[in-house]
Structure 1
């Protein structure tokens, strides 16, 4: 993959919490709300959980193993909010329903859903087993949509809710050896766009607001692991990994505070869009929703050659 596919920003990118998404600005912004975060055991998910707790939300944190959540739970409890931890495979529909019921009994109705859990198997499609490839689709795409399908009726009946899908810039470019990941993230971005339009059809826009969010360049265990030895022996090192590591300069808290900002409703004008959390939300809001939509900004699109669009 050529990193130039991502383009080079001429505006300064943010690499740490700033202005409108700072802890101070969001103090109490989500007070009394209940937020559920998947993949909350470490990294980005842990940061999202803590940021939501800092903004006043009571949090339900999920991960594959309960033991993975000890540190996250401790950090959230230090913010004097209610915290409940759940062991959950988010691809298991029955278990998800069970956890949702437990959350409602212990914390109350869920106001904010953050679909963060994700996996990456970095290898060419032909060198992967199909079940290993498809598992990425199940975790990264099927699971978020399944959770949304479970929570939307309840959000609709209460007349409000926020859903944040942790996506990736990888869903907007072609990256060899990551077919399952890029495909699932592109699908998640498209689903976010489309579901927000469905909220409008049902008169629930902007009361229910959704976002697809790129968490920034966060060097997690998933993103920094590199290709397996068998892949390297066949293809060599097809990327300059040291260069890529230089792109991963963002702390997870940047994404965490962006989620707290969006959950608060302060960014509702950006609902249904794909947001890169390194880009100043203030600048996007200043441009305005009408212009962003008219110019097809922050949305997946295809640029045909000049003159070719649809029939008149």
Structure 2
């Protein structure tokens, strides 16, 4: 008996933030199911490597180096998709930035950058692609938010604020598009082993902030294998699921937030007080690869995360002074 044709076979997909990490893996998973994929990221060198990697695996891919926060980005991306593949069928809003640190070390520009990258850019791109997605009668929008878009994790406030906004837009968009044939899936991942600790920016006391974040993002009981996450995301989108929460810890947290919000808030406050203070001379925007060299965290604590960083094209950490 012949297996049924996958919903995304022969379809055209655009995945933002797809030069590395989860975006690269989602793009690869879509291609494995027969989709044509346009990759998008800011770094042209990393993007070129990602395109060659997927093409070597047999994927039908193209790429465009693009800063999605620029107002002209949606038109540039759509023009590139149309020229190379034709009308767009699947949009995956995945691009993001992670800023780690206490409120006292943050600036207004950090919140603006987070909102521009993870809310306003996906908003503009989604609105620009809706004519294509509606015309095909079976379009798909996937928005990768975060469990931080449901639960306000401490020392991640710009990220949390932007992910809350992204999740709200995505869930509202699904209601607005009901009956049009366009399905919308909101993804709320917990920690995943993508090597994100090497690409994050750290504020306050970078070494101390890197220590807790990198350890959590690498812990096998707290974080999830990124390839398994990518498979789950594409499967949920193909099945038109409204929402996908990833990792057991994230599922427990979401349920606790819904059932006992006051208790959850008290636990989050306790966690915030246990995390590092800003210090007497807070530093700002230290890359994860540099913050690693300022941390006393032993290398074994991040072994799984560092391995994922190498596999999924993240920046390499500096483990020495």
- Decide: shared fold, TM above 0.5: yes
Q: Give the superposition deviation at 1:140.
A: 1.0
8 Å Cα contact 1:50/1:72 also seen in 2: no
8 Å Cα contact 1:113/1:164 also seen in 2: yes
Aligned to 2:218: 245
CA distance in 2: counterparts of 1:173 and 1:304, whole angstroms: 9
Aligned to 1:127: 105
2:61 pairs with one of 83, 91, 97: 83
Aligned to 1:197: 175
8 Å Cα contact 1:120/1:181 also seen in 2: yes
8 Å Cα contact 1:55/1:260 also seen in 2: no
Q: Give the superposition deviation at 1:304.
A: 8.0
CA distance in 2: counterparts of 1:221 and 1:48, whole angstroms: 15
Query: Gaps spanning 5+ residues in structure 2: where?
Result: 249-253, 263-321
**Does structure 1 residue 181 correspond to structure 2 residue 181?**
no
Identify the structure with the greater strand proportion.
Answer: 2
CA distance in 1: counterparts of 2:209 and 2:32, whole angstroms: 45
1:51 pairs with one of 9, 29, 35: 29
Q: Structure 1, residues 22-62: CA drift from partner, whole Å, max 9, x if none?
A: xxx89754221001000111111110111100000000000
CA distance in 1: counterparts of 2:54 and 2:148, whole angstroms: 30
CA RMSD, 1 decimal = 3.1
Q: Give the superposition deviation at 1:229.
A: 6.8
**Does structure 1 residue 256 correspond to structure 2 residue 230?**
yes
1:277 pairs with one of 240, 246, 251: 246
Q: How many residues align?
A: 254
TM-score by length of 2: 0.69
CA distance in 2: counterparts of 1:38 and 1:236, whole angstroms: 27
| Alpha carbons of structure 1 residues 81 and 230: separation in structure 2 relative to 1, 3 Å | closer
Aligned to 2:271: none
Aligned to 2:12: 34
**Which shifted more, 188-197 or 219-228?**
219-228
CA distance in 2: counterparts of 1:276 and 1:237, whole angstroms: 25
Q: Give the superposition deviation at 1:236.
A: 8.0
TM-score by length of 1: 0.71
Equivalent residue of 2:92, what SS?
strand
Equivalent residue of 1:93, what SS?
coil
Alignment of 1:49-128 (within 5 A): 49-128=27-106
| Alpha carbons of structure 1 residues 27 and 155: separation in structure 2 relative to 1, 3 Å | closer
Q: Structure 1, residues 213-248: CA drift from partner, whole Å, max 9, x if none?
A: 134431344346777474369x98995864563245
Q: Structure 1, residues 256-307: CA drift from partner, whole Å, max 9, x if none?
A: 212322343xx22x22xx311347xxxxxxxxxxxxxxxxx99x969789xx
Q: Structure 1, residues 165-221: CA drift from partner, whole Å, max 9, x if none?
A: 111111222222211101111111111111111112xx31xx210111134431344
CA distance in 2: counterparts of 1:301 and 1:194, whole angstroms: 19
2:183 pairs with one of 204, 209, 214: 209
CA distance in 1: counterparts of 2:201 and 2:124, whole angstroms: 30
